Structure 1
Amino acid sequence: MATRLRPAGSALRQTATLRSQRICSRPVNGVRCLTSGTYRVPKPFNEPNLEFAPNSPERTKLSRALEELRAQLPVKVPAIGGKNAQVSANQSLTSMVMPAEHKSSFQEFASASKEDVNKAIESALKAKKTWQEMPFTDRASIFLRAADLVSGKYRFQLLAATMLGQGKNAWQAEIDAAAELADFYRYNVGFAQEIYDKQPTVNAQSHHGRTDWRPLEGFVYAVSPFNFTAIGGNLVSAPALMGNVVVWKPAPMNAYASHLVHQILLEAGLPEGVIQIVHGDAETITNTVFDHREFSALAFIGSSDVFRSLNVKAAQGLAEKRYRDFPRMMGETSGKNFHLLHPSADVVNAAKHTVRASFEYAGQKCSACSRIYIPESRADEFFTQIKKELARVKVGPPEDYQSFTGPVINKKAFDRITAAIDSANADSKLEKVVGGTYDSSTGWYIDPTIYKTSNPDHELFDKELFGPVLVAYVYPDAEFEKTLDIVDKQGGGFALTGNIFSNDQQAVRLAEDKLRYAAGNFYINCKITAAVIGQQSFGGSRMSGTCDKAGSAGLMQRFTAPRTLKEEYNKLDEVLYPSNL
């Protein structure tokens, strides 16, 4: 368990560490800060993963949590969150079904009006002054406390909500809603300390320079996707830890899990208003936010097309001189990510990693592998091995612990992906290796599907499907270096994740160099869905986003407006310089 931080204040902000504290001249949140000292946050750590093996205590607890949540369905989510927020009896609600069982409604959420959104923004701005003046050590305590609530008291509730609402199996829910969410809270506290520690290291005699890491002057708008409960927790915690206030709009399919995350933060001591969670129509909420003078930053994870449109909308606001600030635009978006095998690769290892990278959570990860490049001399061996591994993979509901691949998120996704599969099945330029089948009788299930081709220009190498479909190019062994150019050129303009499997170090180095801009996260001899906070920060460039790297101080620094200060202790004796004499 993380060590608790004692609320405290400090003296003047003369160094980065002293910036974290101050002696309060007036009460902060009703508490007078009279202790002093140079406080530092505890060292972060990665939350250990539970494994849910048969007859394990965690499997029993999770099964009980799933039963309890099912008994409450459909869960109801208020339009705007808060400690006492509830859905009114006369409110119109939007229903979202379970991906694995589309005849059953999982959640019903109320939608915020334009007036509701404006009230949420004003409530956040009202909370801003007290929040940004709260000593960092106190803000840190709230999120460290939340990390322990996530990994302890609410762990199985979060997993159950993520499994039923988003269609994840137990392991995928565990690494997301429990471990990664707790990691984000703990490591973000450490990253904030790292930023505050950045101070000038050189001062002239009798001079003192320092940096005030101010929060942004307005509010941050956070937009989180359906596929990771932890992502929303990061998008709001990163700016809030730096003293910002946030208006948070989660994806509709993730409304209840996000609502639960927000309630945990409030229980951990987050003051009302600092993070305002708002549900409803995306256009209504976003237009209201982008019309507001105090809009200072966007923290976005979702599709590349949507992020592009939001950049245009912000530019229009700037052209009209609508904002006080130039809004910061931070986004992590789409990917058409690759695995690459060199002729020296360990094919068995590569096949196992590819199954996980391509078909975990039905390929609904922005980092998932959807294109692969295989040398001709190893292709038969690779496809034989991957068929062997896929024969052990079960497609089924999340509550069945044997299920490896679950459903896709909704009918819209199912229809889009299966239309592409139908087209591929009829395409003479593609050869189906496995799959190409699907079933929507009870849930939105698509079988792991692989096509291979000798045509490196096929559209599937550029088209993002966000589902369990992998396309393979079999290349001549002698054309490995040429294939690197193909890998770099393809991918729909995205550059999120990629790798190489090779036991030839020269080939590894060549791939690293030639594919330097093809992926923001590059892996060697392991799958590309492997980023762990504190070990690898995450984010891509090109049309995959702004490469601000979630899980790093870099992202958090984007939510600051640093002010430099200089103080002189000596007196100026003469106006003229020696050269003037």
Structure 2
Amino acid sequence: MPTSPVATPAVTRGSGLPPSLTPTLLDRLTARVAAAADAAKVTTNAPYTGGPLADLPVSTPSDVETAFARARRAQETWAATPIRERKKILLRFHDLVLQRQDEALDLMQAESGKTRRDAFLEVTDIAITTRYYARSAAQLLAPRRRRGAIPLLTHTTELRHPKGVVAVISPWNYPLSMAAGDAIPALVAGNAVVQKPDTQTALTALWALDLMREAGLPADVWQMVIGRGSSIGGALMDNADYMMFTGSTATGRKIARDAGERLIGSSLELGGKNAMLVLDDADIARAADGAIDACFPSTGQLCVSIERIYVAEEIFDAFVAEFVARTNALRLGAAYDYSADVGCLTNPSQLDTVTAHVDDAVAKGATVLAGGRARPELGPLFYEPTILTGVTPEMTLHDRETFGPVVSIYPDRDTDEAVARANATPYGLNASVWTRNGARGRAVAARLRAGTVNVNEAFAAAWGSIDAPMGGMGDSGLGRRHGADGILKYTEPQTVAHQRIRGFSPPSGVSHETWSSALTGALKFLKRIGSR
């Protein structure tokens, strides 16, 4: 097992912005922001270089209120639009995303600093999400017959109505997946959407809006506002019929409190301190490859990425050696092609957090097996993929989410200990189990307190299973995206019950005492014949 880190190789290319990001494109996207013509501007910077990227108009609370007013008017017509027409728009959007993906890849890399391969996964994700809801929405939202109160005499139907105008607050780390992915089911359900993407990656979200408009989405049904939460967050909450938020647990708690005060619903995907379990019968080489995919995509800035690995002590040294070797071979770089394995962090505050967590752990006795340092010669926000051992509870990164390319690794005596340690966190978003025995892996997965658990995969298997719900337990959030839950949360269920002939009141001339006796006999009979 290595005792000292080895520098990660670098890819030295890609210093400027790609040619696809023309002034014409950037002007067209920024014009989509719901803001006054004389709005103040905020400049975003490209993480690869630190240089200026775009000047975005800043929305005011008044702009947000105006956006909601327009959205409410547009939503009435949109909700009355047959779902088959909404489906056509989504499928055209699906095709446009795939046809124009190079623009999206360039935008995502320029705004977030991620690699092209990580950006492409977002394109794939949105194509899958769009196709799924376009093809499934009619069935998921269709009126459903429900069992009536009195067999044959009560005709009961469950209807689904759109909430109205949904507020979506999306993060910077997955600017296409989180922005478009949460808006799509809300839109196809008949809602309008007013969205606040993170300012740093707003261009990617605006690109998705631009393509949806090109696909035929009526004006004002989906709008975007730009600004700090402290400035316009209150206006979003005050006007929304439902809140969809992805971000920190602290902010999620506030949104949940405010939504509860207004008696509106909310769905929150929050933080995580996700664990990977490598059982004693795991394929070591495959598990080490899986750990790379689990820990370092988008430079570790992924809610479902792994920050803790628990390895059976019988194979601990062998696994660590394989994992460290693979980590040291990763290529860091600012390349607008597929040559780099790991990009950079997105903003200086993330670099500060990663540096502080690693430095604190080392100062308190942790050992760095790989990485452990910034790489300013590659760009201002590069930090090497880092593996630590000897991490103890008094170290910040033991329990706190780092949200960067840092993972701590621990030996465990047996599976029970690994499960207990994995569950010893207030978070519960994602987990990963590695074993040669699929049945054993699924059994261990069921014991983990996490909204999604992957067996012999990092996170893509559960995330990509779009027909199944995805979300967190505990401090990792409320509600789910994907599957039926991902669209039904944006609707109001309504029960319509039509009573035929006779209800629960006695017929004329029959006493309540006689009627009660008759109903009692009917209830006993229904139980006897197995009726629900």
TM-score category of the 2 structures, normalised to the smaller one: 0.7 to 0.9
In structure 1, C-alpha distance between the alignment counterparts of 2:184 and 2:235, rounded to whole Å: 22
Identify if the C-alpha distance between structure 1 residues 400 and 186 changes in structure 2 by more than 3 Å, giving closer, same or farther. Answer: closer
Residue 63 (structure 2) pairs with residue 120 (structure 1): no
Kept in 2, the 8 Å contact 1:520–1:547? The answer is: no
Rounded Cα–Cα distance in structure 2 between residues aligned with 1:77 and 1:542: 41
Indicate conservation of the 8 Å contact 1:77/1:255, yes or no.
Answer: no
1:100 to 11, 26, 48: 48
561-570 vs 227-236, which moves further: 561-570
- Cα-to-partner distance string for 1:400-456 (whole Å, 9 max, x where unaligned): 53211100001111111112122222221x111111111235230000000012747
User: Are 2:117 and 1:171 equivalent residues in the alignment?
Assistant: yes
User: Residue 483 of structure 2 aligns with which residue?
Assistant: 552
Q: Specify the alignment match of 1:483 in structure 2.
A: 418
- 1:363/1:529 CA distance change after superposition, 3 Å: farther
Aligned to 2:96: 149
- Change beyond 3 A, Cα 1:457–1:381: farther
In structure 2, the residue matched to 1:267 is: 214
SS at match of 1:188: helix
Equivalent in 541, 564, 578 of residue 495 of structure 2: 564
| Corresponding position of 1:439 | 375
- Please give the alpha-carbon distance, in whole angstroms, between the structure 1 residues aligned to 2:311 and 2:510: 71
1:349 is matched with which residue? Answer: 286
Contact persistence 2:156–2:495 (CA under 8 A): yes
**Is 1:225–1:251's contact at 8 Å kept on the other side of the alignment?**
yes
Structure 1 residues 86 and 252, CA, compared in 2 at 3 Å: closer, same or farther?
closer
Contact 2:146/2:157 (<8 A) preserved: no
Select the residue among 116, 130, 137 that pairs with 1:192: 137
Q: How do 1:447-526 and structure 2 match up within 5 A? A: 447-453=384-390, 455=392, 459-476=396-413, 479-490=414-425, 493-504=426-437, 507-508=440-441, 510-515=443-448, 518-526=449-457
- In structure 2, how many angstroms separate the alpha carbons of the residues matched to 1:447 and 1:111? 34
Residue number among 309, 313, 316 corresponding to 2:254 in the alignment = 309
* 2:105 corresponds to which of 148, 154, 159: 159
Task: Please give the secondary structure, in 1, of the residue aligned with 2:166.
Answer: strand
Does residue 67 in structure 1 map to residue 12 in structure 2? no
How far does residue 347 in structure 1 lie from its aligned partner after superposition?
A: 0.9
Contact kept? 1:187, 1:533, Cα under 8 Å = no
Please list every run of 5 or more consecutive structure 1 residues that lacks an aligned counterpart in the other structure.
1-62
Deviation at 1:372, TM superposition (A): 0.4
C-alpha displacement of 1:386: 1.3
Partner of 2:227: 280
TM-score normalised by structure 1 residue count: 0.79
Segment of structure 1 superposing worse, 237-246 or 404-413: 237-246
Classify 1:122/1:79 alpha carbon distance in 2 versus 1 (closer, same or farther; 3 Å): farther
Q: Relative to structure 2, which stretch is displaced further, 551-560 or 200-209?
A: 200-209
The CA distance in 2 between the partners of 1:567 and 1:513, in whole Å, is: 42
- Of 253, 256, 271, 1:334 maps to 271
Note if contact 1:95-1:108 (Cα within 8 Å) is conserved in structure 2: yes
Distance change (3 Å), C-alpha of 1:182 and 1:514: closer
Aligned mate of 2:335, from 398, 405, 422: 398
**TM-superposed deviation, 1:495:** 0.5
- For the residue of structure 2 that corresponds to 1:106, the secondary structure is strand
Q: Tell me the distance in 1 between the aligned counterparts of 2:136 and 2:484.
A: 5
- Which residue is equivalent to 1:81? 32
Aligned partners of 2:137 and 2:509: how far apart in 1?
44
Write the deviation string for residues 369-393 of structure 1: whole angstroms up to 9, x where unpaired. 1100112221211121112212321
Equivalent in 536, 541, 550 of residue 473 of structure 2: 541
The structural deviation recorded for 1:159 is 1.3
User: Using the alignment, how far apart are the partners of 2:35 and 2:143 within structure 1?
Assistant: 43
Counterpart code for 2:417: K
Corresponding residue SS for 1:440 = coil
State percent identity of aligned pairs. 24
1:539 deviates by 1.4
- For residues 458 and 416 of structure 1, the distance between their equivalents in structure 2, rounded to whole angstroms, comes to 13
Q: Find the aligned partners of 2:139 and 2:418 in 1 and give their Cα distance.
A: 41
Amino acid paired to 1:544: S
Q: What per-residue deviation string (whole Å, max 9, x for no partner) do you get for residues 132-152 of structure 1? A: 111111122111111111112
Distance 2:435 2:394 in 1: 24
Name 2:464's counterpart in structure 1.
532
Q: Go from structure 1 to structure 2 and tell me whether the alpha carbon gap of 1:575 and 1:175 turns closer, same or farther (over 3 Å shift).
A: farther
Pick one of 197, 200, 209 that aligns with 1:253: 200
> Is the deviation greater in 269-278 or in 385-394?
385-394
Greater helix percent: which structure?
2
| Cα distance in 1 between the residues matched to 2:421 and 2:46 | 40
Residues 337-367 of structure 1: CA deviation (Å, up to 9, x unaligned): 1111111111111111101111121001101
Q: Distance in 2 between matches of 1:495 and 1:420?
A: 21
For residue 131 of structure 1, what is the aligned residue in structure 2? 78
User: Residues 271 and 475 of structure 2 are in contact (CA less than 8 Å); yes or no, is this contact kept in structure 1?
Assistant: yes
Q: What letter matches 1:239 in structure 2?
A: A
Which SS does the other structure have where 1:356 is aligned?
helix
Specify the SS of the correspondent of 2:77: helix
Letter matched to residue 81 of structure 1: R
Q: What is the Cα-based RMSD across aligned positions, in Å?
A: 2.7
Name the SS of the counterpart of 1:495 in structure 2. coil
In the other structure, the counterpart of 2:58 is: 111
Distance (whole Å) between structure 1 residues aligned to residue 492 and residue 446 of structure 2: 35
Q: Does the Cα contact within 8 Å between 2:243 and 2:259 map onto a contact in 1?
A: no
Tell me which moved more, 465-474 or 430-439.
Answer: 430-439
Residues in 2 aligned to 1:447 and 1:454: alpha-carbon distance in whole angstroms? 18
Distance 1:412 1:298 in 2: 26
Deviates more, 1:452-461 or 1:263-272: 452-461
SS at match of 2:466: coil
- Provide the rounded CA distance (Å) in 2 between the counterparts of 1:69 and 1:436: 35
CA distance in 2, matches of 1:166, 1:174: 13
1:228-258 residue CA offsets vs partner (Å, 9 max, x unmatched): 2121112211112111111100011111111
Using the TM superposition, give the Cα deviation of residue 291 of structure 1 relative to its aligned residue in structure 2, in angstroms: 2.9
TM-score, structure 2 length as denominator? 0.86
Amino acid at match of 1:502: T
Native 8 Å contact 1:357 1:368 kept in 2: yes
Asked if residue 297 in structure 1 is aligned to residue 297 in structure 2, the reply is no
1:45-102 deviation per Cα after TM superposition (whole angstroms, max 9, x unaligned): xxxxxxxxxxxxxxxxxx9x973234539935777727xx8985x5431111111111
184-193 vs 350-359, which moves further: 184-193
Aligned mates of 2:337, 2:120 — CA distance in 1: 15
Structure 2's unaligned 5+ residue stretches are 1-13, 519-532
Q: Which residue of 1 aligns with 2:173?
A: 227
Partner Cα separation in structure 2 for residue 454 and residue 267 of structure 1: 51
